[in-house]
Amino acid sequence: MTTTYNSIKSLREALKPLRADKKIALVPTMGNLHQGHISLVKLAKQHADIVVVSIFVNPTQFGVGEDLDSYPRTLEADTEKLIEVEADYIFAPTVDEMYPIMPPPTQVLAGSISQMLCGKSRPTHFDGVGIVVTKLFNIVQPDVAIFGKKDYQQLAIIKQLVRDLSFDIQLIGGPIVRAEDGLALSSRNQYLTETERAAAPELHKAVQDLAVKLQSGRATSETALQSLIEESITAINAKGFKVDYLEVRNQDLTPITEFAGKQSWVIAVAAWLGKARLLDNQEVDI
Protein backbone atom coordinates (compact mmCIF):
# COMPACT_ATOMS: atom_id res chain seq x y z
CA MET A 1 0.00 0.00 0.00
CA THR A 2 1.30 3.44 -0.97
CA THR A 3 0.80 6.15 1.65
CA THR A 4 1.24 9.89 1.12
CA TYR A 5 2.57 12.23 3.79
CA ASN A 6 2.65 16.01 3.58
CA SER A 7 4.35 16.80 6.88
CA ILE A 8 7.88 16.09 8.04
CA LYS A 9 6.65 14.95 11.45
CA SER A 10 4.18 12.38 10.09
CA LEU A 11 6.73 10.85 7.71
CA ARG A 12 9.33 10.58 10.45
CA GLU A 13 6.82 8.89 12.74
CA ALA A 14 5.92 6.39 10.01
CA LEU A 15 9.56 5.53 9.31
CA LYS A 16 10.83 5.41 12.90
CA PRO A 17 9.62 1.90 13.81
CA LEU A 18 10.89 0.49 10.51
CA ARG A 19 14.53 1.45 10.96
CA ALA A 20 15.47 -1.43 13.24
CA ASP A 21 15.09 -4.15 10.63
CA LYS A 22 14.23 -2.48 7.31
CA LYS A 23 16.48 -0.88 4.72
CA ILE A 24 15.05 2.44 3.50
CA ALA A 25 15.63 4.01 0.09
CA LEU A 26 14.89 7.57 -1.01
CA VAL A 27 14.12 8.65 -4.57
CA PRO A 28 13.98 12.47 -4.69
CA THR A 29 11.89 13.95 -7.55
CA MET A 30 10.10 17.14 -8.51
CA GLY A 31 7.13 15.16 -9.76
CA ASN A 32 5.64 15.05 -13.26
CA LEU A 33 6.93 11.51 -13.28
CA HIS A 34 7.95 9.68 -16.44
CA GLN A 35 9.51 6.27 -17.08
CA GLY A 36 12.93 7.59 -16.11
CA HIS A 37 11.66 8.31 -12.61
CA ILE A 38 9.84 4.99 -12.47
CA SER A 39 13.06 3.17 -13.38
CA LEU A 40 14.71 4.80 -10.35
CA VAL A 41 11.89 3.59 -8.09
CA LYS A 42 12.29 0.06 -9.47
CA LEU A 43 16.04 0.29 -8.86
CA ALA A 44 15.39 1.47 -5.30
CA LYS A 45 13.16 -1.55 -4.68
CA GLN A 46 16.07 -3.80 -5.64
CA HIS A 47 18.25 -2.25 -2.93
CA ALA A 48 15.86 -1.63 -0.04
CA ASP A 49 12.79 -2.92 1.79
CA ILE A 50 11.02 0.45 1.98
CA VAL A 51 10.99 3.06 -0.81
CA VAL A 52 10.19 6.71 -0.14
CA VAL A 53 9.61 8.95 -3.17
CA SER A 54 9.66 12.68 -2.53
CA ILE A 55 7.67 14.97 -4.81
CA PHE A 56 8.61 18.60 -4.29
CA VAL A 57 9.10 21.39 -6.82
CA ASN A 58 11.97 23.05 -5.00
CA PRO A 59 11.90 26.84 -5.43
CA THR A 60 15.46 27.36 -4.20
CA GLN A 61 16.96 25.68 -7.27
CA PHE A 62 15.13 27.90 -9.78
CA GLY A 63 16.80 31.13 -10.84
CA VAL A 64 15.18 34.43 -11.72
CA GLY A 65 13.17 34.09 -14.93
CA GLU A 66 13.23 30.27 -14.89
CA ASP A 67 10.15 28.05 -15.10
CA LEU A 68 9.21 27.68 -11.41
CA ASP A 69 5.62 28.86 -11.93
CA SER A 70 5.06 26.84 -15.10
CA TYR A 71 6.86 23.68 -13.98
CA PRO A 72 4.27 20.88 -14.28
CA ARG A 73 2.67 19.76 -11.04
CA THR A 74 0.83 16.46 -11.50
CA LEU A 75 0.56 14.93 -8.04
CA GLU A 76 -2.57 12.89 -8.72
CA ALA A 77 -1.12 11.26 -11.85
CA ASP A 78 2.24 10.79 -10.10
CA THR A 79 0.53 9.03 -7.20
CA GLU A 80 -1.20 6.61 -9.57
CA LYS A 81 2.13 5.72 -11.17
CA LEU A 82 3.78 5.17 -7.80
CA ILE A 83 0.93 2.99 -6.59
CA GLU A 84 1.32 0.88 -9.73
CA VAL A 85 5.04 0.41 -9.13
CA GLU A 86 4.41 -0.25 -5.40
CA ALA A 87 6.37 2.59 -3.84
CA ASP A 88 5.75 2.53 -0.10
CA TYR A 89 5.63 6.21 0.84
CA ILE A 90 5.19 9.48 -1.02
CA PHE A 91 6.48 12.61 0.68
CA ALA A 92 4.77 15.63 -0.89
CA PRO A 93 5.39 18.64 1.37
CA THR A 94 4.38 22.24 0.75
CA VAL A 95 6.97 24.98 0.35
CA ASP A 96 6.05 26.28 3.83
CA GLU A 97 6.64 22.85 5.32
CA MET A 98 10.10 22.57 3.78
CA TYR A 99 11.11 26.21 4.23
CA PRO A 100 9.57 27.94 7.28
CA ILE A 101 11.54 31.01 6.24
CA MET A 102 11.79 31.73 2.54
CA PRO A 103 14.36 32.15 1.20
CA PRO A 104 16.07 29.95 3.79
CA PRO A 105 18.93 31.73 5.57
CA THR A 106 20.97 28.52 5.78
CA GLN A 107 22.90 27.46 2.69
CA VAL A 108 24.68 24.27 1.61
CA LEU A 109 27.29 25.26 -0.97
CA ALA A 110 29.26 22.82 -3.13
CA GLY A 111 32.15 25.06 -4.17
CA SER A 112 33.90 24.91 -7.53
CA ILE A 113 32.13 21.79 -8.81
CA SER A 114 28.85 23.73 -8.80
CA GLN A 115 30.27 26.62 -10.84
CA MET A 116 31.14 24.69 -14.02
CA LEU A 117 28.85 23.23 -16.72
CA CYS A 118 25.24 24.01 -15.70
CA GLY A 119 26.52 26.30 -12.96
CA LYS A 120 27.84 28.81 -15.50
CA SER A 121 24.37 29.71 -16.76
CA ARG A 122 22.47 28.71 -13.60
CA PRO A 123 24.77 30.12 -10.86
CA THR A 124 22.38 29.54 -7.92
CA HIS A 125 20.88 26.24 -9.08
CA PHE A 126 23.12 23.83 -7.21
CA ASP A 127 22.99 25.88 -4.02
CA GLY A 128 19.26 25.16 -4.06
CA VAL A 129 19.87 21.50 -4.80
CA GLY A 130 22.32 21.32 -1.89
CA ILE A 131 19.88 22.51 0.75
CA VAL A 132 16.88 20.52 -0.45
CA VAL A 133 18.84 17.26 -0.74
CA THR A 134 20.41 17.83 2.67
CA LYS A 135 16.95 18.40 4.16
CA LEU A 136 15.52 15.29 2.49
CA PHE A 137 18.44 13.20 3.72
CA ASN A 138 17.88 14.52 7.25
CA ILE A 139 14.10 14.00 7.13
CA VAL A 140 14.10 10.48 5.63
CA GLN A 141 17.50 9.27 6.89
CA PRO A 142 17.68 6.70 4.11
CA ASP A 143 20.18 3.87 3.84
CA VAL A 144 20.18 4.26 0.06
CA ALA A 145 19.46 7.22 -2.22
CA ILE A 146 18.82 6.93 -5.95
CA PHE A 147 19.53 9.68 -8.47
CA GLY A 148 19.45 9.58 -12.26
CA LYS A 149 22.66 9.90 -14.25
CA LYS A 150 21.02 12.26 -16.74
CA ASP A 151 21.79 15.04 -14.25
CA TYR A 152 25.43 13.98 -14.18
CA GLN A 153 26.77 17.09 -12.48
CA GLN A 154 24.05 16.97 -9.85
CA LEU A 155 24.96 13.38 -8.98
CA ALA A 156 28.65 14.34 -8.69
CA ILE A 157 27.76 17.21 -6.36
CA ILE A 158 25.59 14.96 -4.18
CA LYS A 159 28.43 12.42 -3.95
CA GLN A 160 30.62 15.25 -2.66
CA LEU A 161 27.90 16.34 -0.24
CA VAL A 162 27.53 12.82 1.18
CA ARG A 163 31.30 12.55 1.60
CA ASP A 164 31.89 15.97 3.13
CA LEU A 165 28.86 15.99 5.47
CA SER A 166 29.43 12.35 6.50
CA PHE A 167 25.99 11.07 5.54
CA ASP A 168 25.81 7.31 6.06
CA ILE A 169 24.03 6.80 2.74
CA GLN A 170 24.79 4.60 -0.23
CA LEU A 171 24.35 6.61 -3.43
CA ILE A 172 23.28 4.80 -6.59
CA GLY A 173 23.13 6.41 -10.01
CA GLY A 174 20.39 5.12 -12.28
CA PRO A 175 21.14 4.92 -16.02
CA ILE A 176 19.60 7.41 -18.44
CA VAL A 177 16.24 6.24 -19.76
CA ARG A 178 15.60 7.23 -23.36
CA ALA A 179 12.74 7.33 -25.80
CA GLU A 180 12.99 4.92 -28.73
CA ASP A 181 14.62 7.64 -30.84
CA GLY A 182 17.33 8.29 -28.23
CA LEU A 183 16.04 11.42 -26.54
CA ALA A 184 16.75 11.37 -22.79
CA LEU A 185 13.46 11.44 -20.89
CA SER A 186 12.81 14.66 -19.00
CA SER A 187 9.82 16.46 -17.53
CA ARG A 188 10.83 19.49 -19.60
CA ASN A 189 10.48 17.58 -22.88
CA GLN A 190 6.82 18.54 -22.83
CA TYR A 191 7.89 22.12 -23.62
CA LEU A 192 8.93 20.92 -27.09
CA THR A 193 6.68 21.61 -30.06
CA GLU A 194 5.97 18.76 -32.47
CA THR A 195 8.69 20.00 -34.84
CA GLU A 196 11.18 20.46 -32.00
CA ARG A 197 10.43 16.99 -30.64
CA ALA A 198 11.27 15.52 -34.03
CA ALA A 199 14.62 17.33 -34.00
CA ALA A 200 15.47 16.69 -30.33
CA PRO A 201 17.16 13.26 -30.80
CA GLU A 202 19.88 14.98 -32.83
CA LEU A 203 21.45 16.08 -29.55
CA HIS A 204 22.09 12.50 -28.47
CA LYS A 205 23.30 11.58 -31.96
CA ALA A 206 25.86 14.39 -31.80
CA VAL A 207 27.09 13.15 -28.42
CA GLN A 208 27.39 9.63 -29.82
CA ASP A 209 29.32 10.92 -32.84
CA LEU A 210 31.73 12.76 -30.58
CA ALA A 211 32.18 9.64 -28.44
CA VAL A 212 33.17 7.65 -31.54
CA LYS A 213 35.75 10.30 -32.46
CA LEU A 214 37.18 10.24 -28.94
CA GLN A 215 37.39 6.45 -28.91
CA SER A 216 39.16 6.48 -32.28
CA GLY A 217 42.06 8.32 -30.64
CA ARG A 218 41.62 11.72 -32.25
CA ALA A 219 41.83 13.64 -28.96
CA THR A 220 45.61 13.52 -28.70
CA SER A 221 45.99 16.89 -26.99
CA GLU A 222 44.00 19.67 -25.39
CA THR A 223 43.99 21.51 -28.73
CA ALA A 224 42.77 18.46 -30.63
CA LEU A 225 40.05 17.80 -28.05
CA GLN A 226 38.85 21.40 -28.19
CA SER A 227 38.69 21.21 -31.98
CA LEU A 228 36.47 18.13 -31.79
CA ILE A 229 34.23 19.85 -29.24
CA GLU A 230 33.87 22.91 -31.44
CA GLU A 231 32.98 20.73 -34.43
CA SER A 232 30.24 19.09 -32.35
CA ILE A 233 28.87 22.43 -31.13
CA THR A 234 28.67 23.69 -34.71
CA ALA A 235 26.87 20.52 -35.79
CA ILE A 236 24.36 20.72 -32.93
CA ASN A 237 23.60 24.40 -33.51
CA ALA A 238 23.09 23.67 -37.22
CA LYS A 239 20.21 21.35 -36.21
CA GLY A 240 18.32 24.25 -34.59
CA PHE A 241 19.70 24.03 -31.06
CA LYS A 242 21.46 26.73 -29.08
CA VAL A 243 24.26 25.03 -27.17
CA ASP A 244 24.65 26.22 -23.58
CA TYR A 245 27.78 24.12 -23.10
CA LEU A 246 29.45 21.01 -24.41
CA GLU A 247 32.46 19.80 -22.49
CA VAL A 248 34.53 16.65 -22.12
CA ARG A 249 35.90 15.99 -18.65
CA ASN A 250 37.17 13.18 -16.50
CA GLN A 251 34.28 11.23 -15.00
CA ASP A 252 34.79 12.98 -11.66
CA LEU A 253 34.35 16.26 -13.62
CA THR A 254 37.95 17.37 -13.19
CA PRO A 255 39.61 18.85 -16.30
CA ILE A 256 41.41 16.45 -18.64
CA THR A 257 45.17 16.79 -18.42
CA GLU A 258 46.28 13.34 -19.63
CA PHE A 259 45.74 12.18 -23.19
CA ALA A 260 47.83 9.00 -23.28
CA GLY A 261 46.88 5.60 -21.92
CA LYS A 262 43.56 4.35 -20.62
CA GLN A 263 41.12 7.15 -19.80
CA SER A 264 37.55 7.42 -18.50
CA TRP A 265 35.84 10.59 -19.72
CA VAL A 266 32.33 12.00 -19.83
CA ILE A 267 30.76 14.13 -22.56
CA ALA A 268 28.32 16.58 -20.97
CA VAL A 269 26.00 18.85 -22.93
CA ALA A 270 23.13 21.24 -22.36
CA ALA A 271 21.32 22.89 -25.24
CA TRP A 272 18.20 24.94 -25.77
CA LEU A 273 15.63 23.81 -28.29
CA GLY A 274 12.85 26.36 -28.26
CA LYS A 275 11.69 26.74 -24.64
CA ALA A 276 13.23 23.44 -23.52
CA ARG A 277 16.73 23.18 -22.07
CA LEU A 278 17.85 19.63 -22.78
CA LEU A 279 20.60 17.76 -20.91
CA ASP A 280 22.53 14.72 -22.06
CA ASN A 281 25.80 12.97 -21.34
CA GLN A 282 27.76 9.88 -22.19
CA GLU A 283 30.57 8.16 -20.36
CA VAL A 284 33.43 7.14 -22.64
CA ASP A 285 36.33 4.80 -21.99
CA ILE A 286 39.30 5.76 -24.13
Are 52 and 164 within one domain?
yes
Average pLDDT, the chain: 97
Percent of all residues in the chain with a pLDDT value above 90, rounded to a whole number: 98
- pLDDT, mean of residues 41-70: 96
Does the annotation flag 237 for ligand binding? no
- pLDDT, mean of residues 11-26: 97
HEC readout, the chain? CCEEECCHHHHHHHHHHHCCCCCEEEEEECCCCCHHHHHHHHHHHHHCCEEEEEECCCHHHCCCCCCCCCCCCCHHHHHHHHHHCCCCEEECCCHHHHCCCCCCCCCCCCHHHHCCCHHHHCCCHHHHHHHHHHHHHHHHCCCEEEEECCCHHHHHHHHHHHHHCCCCCEEEEECCCECCCCCECCHHHHHCCHHHHHHCCHHHHHHHHHHHHHHCCCCCCHHHHHHHHHHHHHHHHHCCCEEEEEEEEECCCCCCCCCCCCCEEEEEEEEEECCEEEEEEEEEEC
Are 120 and 234 within one domain?
no
Is pLDDT at 248 greater than 90 in this prediction? yes
Are 209 and 237 within one domain?
yes
Domain boundary residue among 174, 203, 233? 174
Does the annotation flag 34 for ligand binding? yes
Are 218 and 278 within one domain?
yes
Is residue 260 very low, low, confident or very high in pLDDT (cuts 50, 70, 90)? confident
Domain extent for 207: 187-285
**CATH number of the domain residue 105 falls in:** 3.40.50.620
Q: Residue 180: inside a domain, yes or no?
A: no
Q: Residue 129: inside a domain, yes or no?
A: yes
Are 52 and 118 within one domain?
yes
Domain boundary residue among 113, 144, 174? 174
**CATH number of the domain residue 193 falls in:** 3.30.1300.10
Are 204 and 156 within one domain?
no
Q: Residue 182: inside a domain, yes or no?
A: no
Are 62 and 119 within one domain?
yes
Does the annotation flag 35 for ligand binding? yes
Does the annotation flag 149 for ligand binding? yes
Q: Residue 115: inside a domain, yes or no?
A: yes
- pLDDT digit string, tens, across residues 199-216: 999 999 999 999 999 999
Are 54 and 130 within one domain?
yes
Is residue 135 very low, low, confident or very high in pLDDT (cuts 50, 70, 90)? very high
pTM value is: 0.95
Does the annotation flag 75 for ligand binding? no
Q: Residue 179: inside a domain, yes or no?
A: no
Are 39 and 170 within one domain?
yes
Is pLDDT at 39 greater than 90 in this prediction? yes
Domain boundary residue among 118, 146, 174? 174
Are 122 and 234 within one domain?
no
Q: What total of structural domains would you count in the chain?
A: 2
Does the annotation flag 277 for ligand binding? no
Are 42 and 136 within one domain?
yes
Does the annotation flag 36 for ligand binding? yes
Asked about 37 being catalytic, the answer comes back as yes
Q: Exactly one of 37, 47, 125, 204 is catalytic; which is it?
A: 37
Lowest mean pLDDT among 9-13, 27-31, 63-67: 63-67
Are 129 and 234 within one domain?
no
